[in-house]
Amino acid sequence: EAEVAQSPRYKITEKSQAVAFWCDPISGHATLYWYRQILGQGPELLVQFQDESVVDDSQLPKDRFSAERLKGVDSTLKIQPAELGDSAMYLCASSLEPLDGYTFGSGTRLTVV
């Protein structure tokens, strides 16, 4: 069964350091999402791509977060500088079309110390 690949699975970083996460969606899925899930809460959308274009980044803290999907395939989410409040699970998901149910990757659990 096709999967969304994410790496790393776990990341511990010191505050004020830079950190990056990578996601490779299911082949052929044009829509890619990055969600953040704080412990005990539901996931919240950070950014959505349609191919290489950003469709929605209204909840992305743009002073410290950036995301790109240069060739419309894999994607990178970066945080610089990391803050303690960024500790969370970062989930990537993809879908063939918007409004199809998505497939999530296994996530990157970030701990900022």
Per CB under 8 A, residues contacting another protein are 4, 31, 33, 40-45, 48, 50, 55-56, 91, 95, 97-107
DSSP class of residue 86? G
Measured between alpha carbons, how far is 72 from 59 in angstroms, rounded to an integer? 21
For the chain, the first-to-last Cα distance in angstroms comes to 36
Distance of CA 109 to the CA centre of its chain: 11
**Around Cβ 71, how many Cβ atoms within 10 Å?**
9
**Around Cβ 37, how many Cβ atoms within 10 Å?**
15
Pick 20 or 30: Cβ nearer another protein: 30
CB of 95 to another protein, least distance (A): 7
CB of 78 to another protein, least distance (A): 21
Pick 28 or 40: Cβ nearer another protein: 40
CB of 69 to another protein, least distance (A): 15
Pick 48 or 75: Cβ nearer another protein: 48
